[in-house]
Amino acid sequence: MTSTTPEQDIKNEDQSISPDLASNLTDSSTHGSQGSSADRTQLISTATKQITTATSSHLKAGSMLQQRYKIEKLLGSGGISHIYRARDTFLEQAGIAEPFVAIKVLQKQFVDQPEALQLLLQEARKTQQLAHPNIIRLFDVSSDEGHFFLVMEYLDGETLEQVINRYKPNGLPYKFAQKLLEQIADGLEYAHQQGIVHADLKPANIMLDRNGHVKLLDFGVAQKLQKNVDIYAAQEQSQATPVSGFTPAYASAELLAGHAPTPSDDVYSFGCLAYELLTSKHPFHRLPADKAQREQKKATKPAHLNFLQWAAFRRALMFDRDNRTASVGKLMRQLNRPVWPVFLVTAAGIMMLTAGMSYVQGQQGSLHELQQTLAAHQATLSYQANLIQLQPTEILEELEKLTDQNPIISSGLLNFHASTMLGYFEQQIDTLLSDRSERYPNYIEIEHLTEQAGQLYPDSHQLAAVRNRVARSKQSAIEVLQNQLTTMLIAQNYSRDPETNNPYQVLADLKRIDPSYQPQPNEEAIQLFVQEFESAMYQHNALKLQQLLAIGQAAFYAVEQAQPLIEQGLHMQSAIDTMAYYQEQYEQGREPEFPYAAAEIFYQYRFRALTNALEQSGDIAEVDAVYDQWQQYAVIWPNDFELNIRLRRQLADKYLTLSGELLRTHQVRNAERLMRRANELMVSVSG
């Protein structure tokens, strides 16, 4: 049978708390803070007694939450919650290939329990602070028709506990376990930097997905309530029993004694699970730390660890917090430290000391010079040792100094910290991708980070995968927004209403994602826009023209068929705005003052068309047609409006000319009608 690695055996919207839920949970928190330990015991007791009720209260497949999350199936049940796999219909409509989420729903019988509601909010708030590729993501926390729930990243894989069981009795080789441990450590170190201690770290609270990615679960809840039976997507089968919310086999002696959690407590838990991953055995035979300490239990060295790695493990498993390694980051650096530099440094030291002694004996006069040389070497070694301990942000600052001064050390520093630095960049990118302070992630900043990382690690396959993921995410967002924009333009939704999703907001989102983006409306949208613009121009609908001119500049300016109309509109932009205000006031029943100057510009094209038609008319019917069109404007134009005066004079002159021709042919009755109309026009001008 061919052996495989764990990675081969195993083959992600708005982080906000709804106001209603926050109100309910805040009230619950207030009451819960007054509860006694007996209240908490009653809560756990209730979970046991009402298991039958909980089972019957499952959400059915096909149920909808928030008109968005469609329940597919139950994944598992715990002390106070049910876990479901659901389909995010918003993501599905956006074309996301795997729109799955996990939903943790508080069981019905706990909805009125203040402490349970308080814990749900506590878990939400703490997890929301953590945006890291090795920590499960929380997308939403809300309520719907009495259901209180968290929406989380859906993980398809298995727990670390299942991995350990599968590799019994020998455990994983260190080179395979190292990949998992580094991811766990990265997630923990990030959480500690945010001021959050897990305090219930154990194999059942860690998942490995089908791509070999590790995810830490259940932050911020473990120290308050029994959680080892409420594991996301997997039912724990541990022999350990909870004490004060912790799992004794993995809790430090300080936690078991009721002390406040610190990162060092997570180091102890990490040491236990790492030892178990490597050996399939708990270091102290699953005894709680306080009992193991009283019995003076000692862990035995695994055969496949070198002496430096075992020394690091022993410090992590110290029962006394003061003697224990302070951080998981430091522990991993100690575990990954190669053996040969220690021998080389030691040998070099002995050689230098021997040479120095010989030199002193032979050259007593150069003692001071030797001391200076040794001090310089010591300073160099100290500086290089400090470089190993730097955090990613400090490394980036140091690189700016080293690149020109000492490129060899710069290159060595990058190689030594490659895993940490790539993890740092990926974490920063994931944080930006999951940022919901704007409608879409800041892809400009994300691409700046990938470019910065690419300059440091141009051949990184991990970075290439991140780039591809970012590119797919960006392209997917652009395609979704383009489809929204096209739908709006075809529907002639040119509104700026901030209460609705409008084309200006969509265009702003597209520009934020890609500043070089240029709208490309389809043929149907273009034809509808041109027809609407021409109609508004013919009807002199200033309000409509104002709207069309705005959307034209935003979405149609580069379109050949629309550009002449838009240019014409821009030429009379000020007049359109003035007339739009006048028309709006007029329609509201007010009596605004007629804007003569603006109107003269606004109606100039129509006036020109009417006068041209009048000049080219050759019979009474053609002149009457112009007269009829003038009457449509006569109700809008004041008598003293210059264009109105000029057009009436031209009509009167034309009717008088035609009446003279009729008199010459003895068509007296028709001639009289034309003279009366000419007279009416002249009187209106002189009046």
Catalytic positions, written as ranges = 200
Which of 82, 59, 50 is CA-nearest to residue 144?
Answer: 59
Give the Cα separation of 492 and 31 in Å (integer).
Answer: 53
Chain centre distance of CA 60: 30
Q: What is the DSSP letter of 322?
A: G
Dump the DSSP string for 61-91: TT-EETTTEEEEEEEEE-SSEEEEEEEEHHH
CB count within 10 Å of CB 164 equals 22
**Reduced DSSP (H G I as helix, E B as strand, rest coil) percent helix, strand, coil of the chain, to 5:** 60, 10, 30
Which of 184, 191, 286, 298 is CA-nearest to residue 240?
Answer: 286
Q: Distance of CA 623 to CAs 111, 519, 657, 663, 676, Å?
A: 81, 46, 11, 17, 15
Given the structure tokens 């050759």, which residue do they identify?
618
157 neighbors 208 (Cβ within 8 angstroms): yes
Give the Cα separation of 536 and 581 in Å (integer).
Answer: 16
208: which strand partners?
158, 214
595 neighbors 576 (Cβ within 8 angstroms): no
Which of 201, 301, 184, 322 is CA-nearest to residue 250?
Answer: 201
Q: How crowded is the C-beta side of 320, counted as CA atoms within 13 Å?
A: 4
Query: In 390-510, which ranges are E strands?
Result: none
Q: Which amino acid is at 98?
A: E
Q: Is the peptide bond before 169 cis (omega within 30 degrees of 0)?
A: yes
311 neighbors 303 (Cβ within 8 angstroms): no
SS (H, E, C) 257-308: CCCCCCHHHHHHHHHHHHHHHHHCCCCCCCCCHHHHHHCCCCCCCCCCCCHH
Q: What is the DSSP letter of 679?
A: H
Contacts of 269 (CB under 8 A, 6+ apart): 198, 200, 201, 202, 250, 251, 252
> Residue 640, class by beta-carbon neighbours within 10 Å (0-12 exposed, 13-18 middle, 19+ buried)?
exposed
20 neighbors 143 (Cβ within 8 angstroms): yes
Contacts of 382 (CB under 8 A, 6+ apart): none
Give the Cα separation of 425 and 393 in Å (integer).
Answer: 10
Given the structure tokens 């940022």, which residue do they identify?
435
Q: Which amino acid is at 269?
A: S
Dump the DSSP string for 150-200: EEEE---EEEHHHHHHHTTTT---HHHHHHHHHHHHHHHHHHHHTT-----
Instruction: Provide the phi-psi class of 285: left if phi over 0, else alpha when psi is between -120 and 50, else beta.
Output: left
Give the Cα separation of 172 and 515 in Å (integer).
Answer: 49
